[in-house]
Structure 1
Amino acid sequence: MNDTLIRDAELLVTMDGDEIPGGWVALREGTVTGTGRPGTEPRAARTLSARGALVTPGLINTHHHIFQNLTRAYAPATRYELFDWLGTLYPLWAGLDEEAVEVSTWVGLAELALGGCTTTADMLHSHPRPRLTDAQIRAARQVGLRFHACRGALDLSERDGGPAPEEITQSTDEILADCERLVSTYHDPSPGSMVRIALAPATQAAVSERLMAETARLAERLDVRLHTHLAESLDEVTYCRETFGRRPVDQFEHVGWAGDRAWVAHFVFSEPGERARLGRWGTAVAHCPGSTMMLGAGAASLPALREAGVTVGLGCDGSASTDHASLWLEARTALAAARERGGAASTTARDVLRAATVDAAACLGREDGLGRLTPGAPADVTVWELDEFAFAGAHTDLVEAWLRCGPVRPRHTIVQGRPVVENGTLTLPHTHDMLSAHARISRRIQRLSD
């Protein structure tokens, strides 16, 4: 018998070629066992109603800095572009400790679940104290989201000519040793795994050439994925030209990152030939238009990237630049940005849903069916509440309506067969206590008086 049956969907979208009015999806022991049309439902120990709702695979977030919710909408930084914004916030992030990272991650993952997200990658790039990635993984296990911990790093301090204060940087050797420790301790490459590790130097404009090159070699030896920012800002382009004598993509190839082991965030300031190179290499892009637009850099062109053969996933990016952790909101922003760049016919809501599910799973190197509702795939499902007022009059295409109407939040968010959000409410215990702890810690980090 199945553990859970989700039935009576207004529309079930499997992302495996089927859109089923009135459809159902059955789950057992953390995997999808089947989907089908009304009247063919199997038995299950528990039934959840999707009546009047859209059912999709859980959304997948390919790039984030969750800890930044401790400095969300920090007033002194709200008018700055990227490098000045970072310069304002770096000193505050020197206050991170294990409690701050664990609590901020717990709160951020809960917020992601409330936005329909079931899997997230997260880059923690500031390490003023040891074992902060361990604290993230503890929080992920408590919340129950599927978690790809991207072990971020900064090894160039202001003293070395880098942008970050010394308090949040580490030596290259220290970073590489901790990367290897994290992979050996936590990385689970098996199908349906809940925790994986990726190696993630922050950006070529803030780390040494040696760290980039040695991280690529280490990832090859350990067989894990690589992640970094690439061509995010004009300042990064200038830095790479002045420091290395190359554009960011040329430097990326020079240090051994060109290939299908890597996915990169943003890729806003790219030329047609550079997009084509990423497409040939199989290097994927985490598209985060909300963040780069908020920081004044504009957005990458989703249609142009796809035309070049680049796999594109979606990402919320930093909780202190985007200032939210709703992947639904990021998907809607991506739809609007793509149509603004490529024209009204260039991108549909289904294109964006693919970026947030199937293609996002490819960014993370998942080959276990994640991002689809198909037999054997991980049992990650989002049941979207189609509010009767926001969707009044939307009769012809529920997938388009899902992004064009709204705002939309999930009725149920299910990860590995377990509801994290049920009937619109988090199933997690101690939510008030965690929010109170977050308020206390974030005020400390921001150096505000109690």
Structure 2
Amino acid sequence: MKTVLKNIDYLVTMNEKREELKDAYVVVEDGIIIDVGKGTPPPGDVEIDLAGRIITPGFVNTHHHFYQSLFRSVKEVASAKLFDWLVFLYERWKNLDNEAIYVSSKVAIYEMMMSGVTTTTDMLYLHPKGRSEFIDSEIEAARSTGVRFHPTRGSMSLSRKDGGLPPDTVVQSEREIIEDSVRLIEKYHDREKHSMLRIALAPCSPFSVTEESMVRTAELAGQYDVLLHTHLAETRDEDDFCIEKKGLRPVDFMEKVGWLNERSWFAHLVWLSDEDIKKLAGHDCGMAHCPSSNMRLGSGIARVKEMKEAGMRIGLAVDGSSSNDTGNMLLEIRNALMLQRVLKGADALTPRDVLEFATLGGARVLRMDDFIGSVEVGKSADLAAFRLDTLSMSGGLSDPVASLVLCDPHKSDMVMINGKIRVQNGRVIDSELPGLIKRHNEISSKLIGGEY
């Protein structure tokens, strides 16, 4: 069946020429874009009139912790630094179960989808003792939403008694981590083009896993040809911790354990030297830039301008909902622009630069840019539409592309993923959403209150 999206006021393609088309159309068949053009489109079985809209490639979220949507704005740590924040919340997170993971994952995904996200990753590193198959639960949730999903099998093996931060109740042995990583890859990882589900491996951070775990995970990723992900250089405290415990700064430690390679992408990368940036770029590593989270936790401002100039692959991310505390990719795009201008001036980055980070940049970080990240023939039909006739966009039509970043479209009007409409007229297509939100709040209240 052919679906024709027609009368598009502005189409941001992110193709090789970075073309922006007026009065455009997109033709989709079997989830694939088969035609893009201007003017009168060919007839279709289904025709959708998108007059008064700007269309972009669907946004790609490159770092998240879905379960944290249950722990937004927790009073006791609303103004805490990262390490104190973690220590407090670990004691609540240790009570998570599979239902909590499933419900929180759907809420987190739908929230992002409302801001134009069509592809997301997630780092789920909490695996409390006596519980299992948390990744399976979030995959089940993701499949029910229709999002394109690239989860990471997160892990922690270094507990508080061994010099790490997490309590014993949420860490696993090296054997448990490796065995479950292999299980998930063999069960779920789809290497084919247009894949809706891929698996990556993600030890949580240098201060929550052993050096052996980092090395073994990198070897496993090479064996199965999957990507690697972790938090890195997020705070000055982490920098000090790595020097004290490892005798090396974070990037140098990653080099030691074999993580500086084209498979790897790192979340945050706030505290980097010139040499760090040179090393990361030279090894073709990717970055998940989390501007709102970095502001929320007072972590600092990443040197994104310098990383872009060095040729690094850069994507954007909402990060976990208890360190943000929202899943709105439109805010990340805007904050990414504004933060760099605080440091480097008004010409540090352009609105189109950060829009590219959110689309093609994120696709490159996840090594999926051969089929997502741009609107062109042969790519997956992952698209986001935003209204131009809203109060907040009024007066911003001289450059609608820049206005998508500088103004506030609030939410997507339509989202298409793999050729299927998932958001229509500004609403998620799921009749069970009210009940989902109700259950999410019930679980959240019990977990925060210690009753779950």
Equivalent residue pairs, number = 448
Q: 1 CA distance for matches of 2:371 and 2:341? A: 29
Residue 197 of structure 2 is matched in structure 1 by 195
Contact map agreement 2:65 2:122 (CA 8 A) in 1: yes
Read off the aligned partner of 1:33 and give its amino acid letter: I
Residue 31 of structure 2 is matched in structure 1 by 30
- 2:99 alignment partner, SS class: helix
Q: 1 CA distance for matches of 2:347 and 2:108? A: 35
Contact map agreement 2:388 2:397 (CA 8 A) in 1: no
Q: 1 CA distance for matches of 2:316 and 2:34? A: 27
Is residue 389 of structure 1 aligned with residue 413 of structure 2?
A: no
Deviation at 1:368, TM superposition (A): 2.5
- 2:393 alignment partner, SS class: coil
Is residue 126 of structure 1 aligned with residue 161 of structure 2?
A: no
Query: Which of 237, 240, 243 pairs up with 1:238?
Result: 240
Structure 1, unmatched stretches of 5+, are none
What CA deviation, in whole Å up to 9, does each residue of 1:200-245 have, x standing for no partner? 0000011100100000000000100000011001111111101111
Residue 259 of structure 1 is matched in structure 2 by 261
Residue 67 of structure 2 is matched in structure 1 by 67
Deviation at 1:367, TM superposition (A): 4.1
Contact map agreement 2:413 2:426 (CA 8 A) in 1: yes
Residue 99 of structure 1 is matched in structure 2 by 99
Contact map agreement 2:360 2:369 (CA 8 A) in 1: no
What TM-score do you get using the length of structure 2 for normalisation?
Answer: 0.97
Q: 2 CA distance for matches of 1:408 and 1:347? A: 22
Q: 2 CA distance for matches of 1:202 and 1:44? A: 47
- 1:111 alignment partner, SS class: helix
Residue 87 of structure 1 is matched in structure 2 by 87
What CA deviation, in whole Å up to 9, does each residue of 1:37-92 have, x standing for no partner? 012x0221212222111101000000011110111111101110100000110110
- Aligned ranges 1:110-125 → 2 under 5 Å: 110-125=110-125
Contact map agreement 1:9 1:52 (CA 8 A) in 2: yes
Query: Which of 162, 165, 168 pairs up with 2:167?
Result: 165
Deviation at 1:369, TM superposition (A): 2.5
- 1:333 alignment partner, SS class: helix
- 1:163 alignment partner, SS class: coil
Contact map agreement 2:60 2:120 (CA 8 A) in 1: yes
Contact map agreement 1:387 1:406 (CA 8 A) in 2: no
Contact map agreement 1:191 1:367 (CA 8 A) in 2: no
Deviation at 1:363, TM superposition (A): 0.6
- Aligned ranges 1:133-212 → 2 under 5 Å: 133-212=135-214
Read off the aligned partner of 2:7 and give its amino acid letter: D
Read off the aligned partner of 2:32 and give its amino acid letter: T
- 2:135 alignment partner, SS class: helix
Read off the aligned partner of 2:365 and give its amino acid letter: C
Residue 10 of structure 1 is matched in structure 2 by 9
Contact map agreement 2:393 2:409 (CA 8 A) in 1: no
- 1:120 alignment partner, SS class: strand
Contact map agreement 2:272 2:303 (CA 8 A) in 1: no
- 1:83 alignment partner, SS class: helix
- 1:196 alignment partner, SS class: coil
Q: 1 CA distance for matches of 2:426 and 2:393? A: 17
Read off the aligned partner of 1:44 and give its amino acid letter: G
Read off the aligned partner of 1:115 and give its amino acid letter: S
Q: Give the CA RMSD over aligned residues.
A: 1.2
Q: Which consecutive aligned stretches of 4+ in structure 1 deviate over 2 angstroms post-superposition?
A: none
Identity over the aligned pairs, expressed in percent?
A: 39
Structure 2, unmatched stretches of 5+, are none
What TM-score do you get using the length of structure 1 for normalisation?
Answer: 0.98
